[in-house]
Chains A and B, each alone.
Chain A
Amino acid sequence: MKNGLKKKDWMLIGIIVCVAVLVTLVHVFIGGKGASKVTVKVDGVIQGTYSLSEDQEIEINGGTNILQIKNGRAKMIEADCPDQLCVHQKAVSMNHESIICLPNKAVVTVESSESSEYDAVAN
């Protein structure tokens, strides 16, 4: 007993898993549908909104990052920061998914064409 996980440890694990599942369910049920455009924000200011249905490449922040939209999915293909975390992130297409480049304060968020109630709460 001394070396294993105790009762309270298991309770802690249970709570963490429950919260994770709950947040996932909320995300899947409330968001997730009707995604059609991406919004690009730099330092909290909207730079532009782009349609996911048309293939294009977008320069963000005057070229520090390049976002590629292809087959209804958005992916960061270039960034000038050393860590390249946003470039390694997978392509996003679901509502409320986002790609974030912290060093350049750039946020790419997938959104539905019409604002839902969830948007008002989330933003």
Chain B
Amino acid sequence: MRSRVAYFGVFTALALIFSYVETLIPINFGIPGVKLGLANLIIVIALYKMKLRETYLLSVVRVLLSGFIFGNYFSIIYSLAGGILSLTVMALLKKREGFSVMGISIAGGVFHNIGQLVVAMLVVETFSVAYYVPVLLIAGMITGLMIGIVANEMLKRLVNIQL
């Protein structure tokens, strides 16, 4: 029990640091809203290593903390919607056999973007952002794949940790 709490703290700290590192990387894909999603790496690892309940908690804590430190009221709402939808889809796919870490992560990346787009539609009360869907789908797929490849390598080396 004690080590579970300690690991939760370490995971939260890692996710927060990755959020920070991401703000330092000056990659601008030229498309608003598209970013690497480094912190999702920690969420994917947690999905495989922690209980689902704790992974949800980690995701929410991560979004709230990084939102208050680096973002604003809006970015918290978008990240929360994207993060929770993405984690739900990843957890459902993981229950079904046959998907690799990369596949799970791809679904996570795509649905993270979809969740944010849905909130954006509700906030600005327009559906004209729908034309933006293909861009976000492909972008989410590519970033999800990259995160998935790294997560796969990390999980191979983290076999001794099981929470």
Binding site for B on A (CB under 8 A): 3-9, 12-13, 16-17, 19-21, 23-24, 27, 31, 41, 43-44, 82, 85-86, 88-90, 96-98, 100, 102-103, 105-107, 109, 122-123
A31 CB, nearest partner CB in chain B, Å: 7
Determine how close the nearest CB of chain B comes to the CB of A65; give it in whole angstroms: 13
Let me know if A122 and B127 touch, CB within 8 A. yes
Residues of B bordering A, CB below 8 Å: 28, 30, 32-33, 72, 74, 98-100, 102-103, 106-107, 110, 120, 123-131, 133-134, 137-138, 141, 152, 156
Name the distance in Å between B23's Cβ and chain A's nearest Cβ.
11
User: Which among B32, B103, B110, B127 is the interface contact of A89 at CB below 8 angstroms?
Assistant: B32
Chain B residues whose C-beta falls within 8 Å of the C-beta of A82 in the assembled complex: 72
- In angstroms, how far is the closest chain B Cβ from the Cβ of A15? 10
Please name 29 pairs of A and B residues whose Cβ atoms are closer than 8 Å in the assembled complex, sorted by A: A3-B152, A5-B100, A6-B99, A6-B103, A7-B98, A8-B98, A12-B103, A12-B107, A16-B106, A16-B138, A17-B138, A19-B134, A20-B134, A20-B137, A21-B134, A23-B131, A23-B134, A44-B124, A44-B125, A44-B126, A96-B128, A97-B131, A100-B120, A100-B124, A102-B123, A103-B74, A105-B123, A107-B128, A109-B128
B33 / chain A contacts, CB cutoff of 8 Å:
85
Binding site of A, secondary structure by majority: helix, strand, loop or mixed?
mixed
Which residues of chain A come closer than 8 Å to B141, judged between CB atoms?
Answer: 13, 16-17
Given A9-B99, A19-B137, A24-B134, 10 further pairs, Cβ under 8 A: A21-B134, A23-B131, A23-B134, A27-B130, A44-B126, A97-B131, A98-B129, A100-B124, A102-B120, A109-B128
Contact B137 A9 (CB under 8 A): no
Query: Are B32 and A86 in contact (CB-based, < 8 A)?
Result: yes
